[in-house]
Structure 1
Amino acid sequence: MADEIPRRALKVTDPRALRAYAHPLRMRLIGLLRGEGPMTATQAAARLDDNVPNCSFHLRQLAKYGFAERVPGADARERPWRATTQYTSWDDDSDDPAMREATDKINSVMVALYLQRAQDYLAIRVDEPAEWRAAAGFGDALLHVTAAELSEITAQIDALLARYDERIADPAKRPPGSRPVTFVQMALPRGAVPPHETAGGDGS
């Protein structure tokens, strides 16, 4: 049914599906459907400044691998598309060469998209209200942690962000004054891997 709420997350384990998803326009299309709800290829093309045949093709490819699906529309002329889930995840620790290649590709596409979004924000930041300029922006922190501790930090951040999930699918739950915000998360290890890890030990 069109008013059903999509599942929270889809975990991709097939490298073919992940490679299919690792495309700038396809990821922008899914982001659009998740952020603004079901829409037709024509509506998506207008929002993304692209052409309708191109968006229609990539939406069909997303549907082929389970990332998008058709839903009933107001009439039978053009049925809208919607994202099947609110989030997509995958494992970055696979030993399968095909999966490692696919995750490298999708991570590269994501970094490029995030960079473009950051540049787009900087271009309009001067016109933002002071309260939004103060709340948004960029920052980083240097941590000295183990892999297990880093995983725990990531899980805590995910749990915090999950508190706002219901607002994605239900506009009625969004408080006055709220607006969409892209929260980008990166954890980038620096330097060499500690010797005990390269030797396979646990450091105890």
Structure 2
Amino acid sequence: MPSEERTTIRLDDPRALRAYAHPLRLSLIGMLRRNGPMTATQCAAALDENVPNCSFHLRQLAKYGLAERAPAADGRERPWQATANSTSWTDDSDDPETRMAADQLNAAILRQYVRRAEAYLAVRGEESAEWRAAAGFGDDMIYVTAEQLVDLAGRVEALLAPYRDRAGRAAGSRPVTIVQLAIPTPEEGAP
């Protein structure tokens, strides 16, 4: 994967958006981004999948520029790496096919985060009191214009940026997923 500098790959093509929306592909890219280069065999073991399935999905990710072959330590090893630290995509396209594909990707990511949150809740009791107090859930209702929401998202991005640097992380730090949902909510009636 690229150095610690923040790199993003942008998906604008509906086919690429739909290809990325596959749950195993999302997991593979996430793992390559966290762990660095891995072989299909290593990916399969970590995800409790079979090697041919992981190999197929890694090739599909490469087809859309999300993964690539990494330099191998020896001739037999065939590791893969993510091509960027993050992925962004079109959410405001006027093209109905692109909008539908972006919605499919957003839904797949939401399902993945819900599963992750449920898995955390299952083991939360085993966490230290310090981590139980620090991690968790919350929500808030704010009133903003679309322009203010874009500004707010930029400020949140700036707040998170210093904590992404793996090389400069503090002793005792561990990976934490921060999920941002900005969902317009009806003023009246049920949410």
- Would you say same fold, with TM above 0.5? yes
Which residue number corresponds to residue 11 of structure 1? 10
Select 1:191's aligned residue among 167, 180, 186: 186
1:176 counterpart letter in structure 2: A
Structure 2 unaligned blocks of 5 or more: none
User: Relative to structure 1, is the Cα distance of residues 28 and 15 closer, same or farther in structure 2, using a 3 angstrom cutoff?
Assistant: same
Which residue number corresponds to residue 120 of structure 1? 119
User: Relative to structure 1, is the Cα distance of residues 125 and 133 closer, same or farther in structure 2, using a 3 angstrom cutoff?
Assistant: same
SS for the counterpart of 2:142 is: coil
CA contact (8 A) 2:66 2:84 kept: yes
Question: Offset of 1:6 from its aligned partner?
Answer: 7.3
CA contact (8 A) 2:9 2:84 kept: yes
SS for the counterpart of 1:85 is: coil
Q: Does 1:176 align with 2:171?
A: yes
RMSD between aligned residues:
1.5
The structure having more radius of gyration, on CA atoms, is 1
Greater than 2 Å deviation, 4+ residue runs: 2-7
**1:2-151 mapped onto 2 (5 Å cutoff):** 8-151=7-150
TM-score, normalised to structure 1, is 0.87
CA contact (8 A) 2:36 2:81 kept: yes
Q: Distance in 2 between matches of 1:43 and 1:15?
A: 30
- What's the % identity of the aligned pairs? 60
Structure 1 unaligned blocks of 5 or more: 193-204
Superimposed CA distance per residue, residues 58-91 of structure 1 (whole angstroms, 9 cap, x where no aligned partner): 0000001000000112211131101000000012
Q: Distance in 1 between matches of 2:2 and 2:144?
A: 44
TM-score, normalised to structure 2, is 0.93
Aligned positions, number: 187
